Amino acid sequence: MALRIFTKYWCFTPISTTWSRIASVGYAKKVAAGGAKGASAARNVDKKKLDHENDPEKLLTYCCGLNIYKEGEDPKLKQDSEYPDWLWKLNVERENTPLDELDKDSWTYWRRMRRLANKRKYNLGYEERKFNSK
């Protein structure tokens, strides 16, 4: 990650007849390979493997991993009848709802339309980027 350096320059803007200060951004010089302590030192750290529960009996009776405190235990699972009905009706599928089934006055419809338009615009410029990259 590069370190950003902010500098201020005086310039004359055509909008007003006064001199104004404009901030510009420049990037710091790259540090030599042996001198960096932050980023390169972080890359050399071994990743820790988290312990996970293997006991099938405990997996069936407790909600493993839900306890966020150092002390205590995971909450015990209850019977299905003790949970509200709406919990079992939640849509847990990873597929998006088809665009024609969404309401055209909703935010999700227009957000999806904007994403699709941006994706289409990006893909149309692919040929141009491919030939101009030489």
Average pLDDT over residues 78-96: 89
Determine contact, residues 74/80, Cβ cutoff 8 Å: no
- The pLDDT of residue 43 is 65
pLDDT at 99 over 60: yes
- The pLDDT of residue 80 is 92
Determine contact, residues 112/96, Cβ cutoff 8 Å: yes
- The pLDDT of residue 38 is 57
Determine contact, residues 64/74, Cβ cutoff 8 Å: yes
Average pLDDT over residues 110-115: 94
> Which residue, 56, 57, 74, is CA-closest to 65?
74
* Weakest-pLDDT range from 27-36, 92-101, 114-123: 27-36
Query: And the tokens for 33?
Result: 């390979």
pLDDT at 4 over 60: no
